[in-house]
Amino acid sequence: MFDKDFSQVDWEKVKQGQLIRQSLGSEWIRLTGLAPGMRVMDIGTGPGVFTRMYAEAVGEMGRVYALEKSPQAMAFLRRELQDLKNVEYVLADAEQGFGEVPKVDVVFITDVLHHVDTPGKIFRNISRVVSEGAKVLVAEYDPTAPGEVGPPLEVRIPLGDLQQMAVAAGFQIVETGTRDHEHYYVVLQR
C-alpha cells in the first residue's frame, strides 16, 4: 500500500528498499561528477543509504546537507549515519524551503517528488541554494513502466511534466535516461 506522506512507514523496510537500489546511487554519483570537497544537498533522505554514499564520495572536506521533513525519518537517519562527521541534518519541508543552507554544488532528489503535493515548488526552492553551474539529479519512478516495483503508476510523475517544472524554475536539462528498478533520471544544471 502506498503511503504518500510516510505517516505509517517502517523505516527499516524503506532502508532495505534503498539497499536493493544501491547501484542507482553509484550511477547518480557518476552522472553528477560528485567529487571530494563538494557540497551536496540530499532532499528526502529517508533512511540514508544514498546519503552515506554521497558523504563518502565528497570525503572529509566535503559536506552533505541531509534534508528530511519527517522527524521519525530524521531520527532514524541520525542513528544510521552517526559515524559520519561531514553530514548536517536539516529538518525541513522542501516545498516550504530549506532555511539557512549555504550554496551547494550538487542536489539529489531521488524517489521523492511523487510524495509531495507541489513538486514545482521544490525546484524553485532549489534554484535559490545552488551555486552557478551546480547539477541537480532527479530520479523518479517511470509511469510508463510495468509498475512491478515502486509506487502505483497513477502517482508517478511523467518525465515531460518533471522537465517542464525544472525549466520553469530556471534549470537546463543536461541529460535524461532510464535505469533499473523502473526509474528515469534527469540531470539539470543551473
Residue 1: the pLDDT is: 59
- Between 1-10, 26-35, 40-49, the lowest mean confidence (pLDDT) is in 1-10
Give tens-digit pLDDT for 35-90.
Answer: 999 999 999 998 899 999 999 999 999 999 999 998 999 999 999 999 999 999 99
Asked whether residue 6 is assigned to any structural domain, the reply reads: no
Give tens-digit pLDDT for 134-145.
Answer: 999 999 999 999
Asked whether residue 57 is assigned to any structural domain, the reply reads: yes
Mean per-residue pLDDT for 25-32?
Answer: 95
- How many whole angstroms separate alpha carbon 158 and alpha carbon 164? 10
3-state secondary structure the chain: CCCCCCCCCCHHHHHHHHHHCHHHHHHHHHHHCCCCCCEEEEECCCCCHHHHHHHHHHCCCCEEEEEECCHHHHHHHHHHCCCCCCEEEEECCCCCCCCCCCCEEEEEEECCHHHCCCHHHHHHHHHCCEEEEEEEEEEEECCCCCCCCCCCHHHCCCHHHHHHHHHHCCCEEEEEEEECCCEEEEEEEC
Asked whether residue 1 is assigned to any structural domain, the reply reads: no
Mean per-residue pLDDT for 13-27?
Answer: 87
Asked whether residue 120 is assigned to any structural domain, the reply reads: yes
Mean pLDDT (the chain, rounded): 92
Asked whether residue 5 is assigned to any structural domain, the reply reads: no
Cell of 170: 530556471
Beta pairing partners, 187: 137, 175
Asked whether residue 16 is assigned to any structural domain, the reply reads: yes
Give tens-digit pLDDT for 166-182.
Answer: 999 999 999 999 988 89
Residue 15: the pLDDT is: 87
What's the number of domains the chain is made of?
Answer: 1
Asked whether residue 94 is assigned to any structural domain, the reply reads: yes
- How many whole angstroms separate alpha carbon 78 and alpha carbon 29? 22
Whether the pLDDT of residue 4 is over 80: the answer is: no
Whether the pLDDT of residue 119 is over 90: the answer is: yes
Asked whether residue 3 is assigned to any structural domain, the reply reads: no
Q: What is the pTM of this model?
A: 0.93
Residue 45 lies in domain? 11-189
Per-residue confidence band for 2, with pLDDT thresholds at 50, 70 and 90: low
CATH of the domain at 104: 3.40.50.150
**How large a percentage of the chain has pLDDT more than 90?**
76
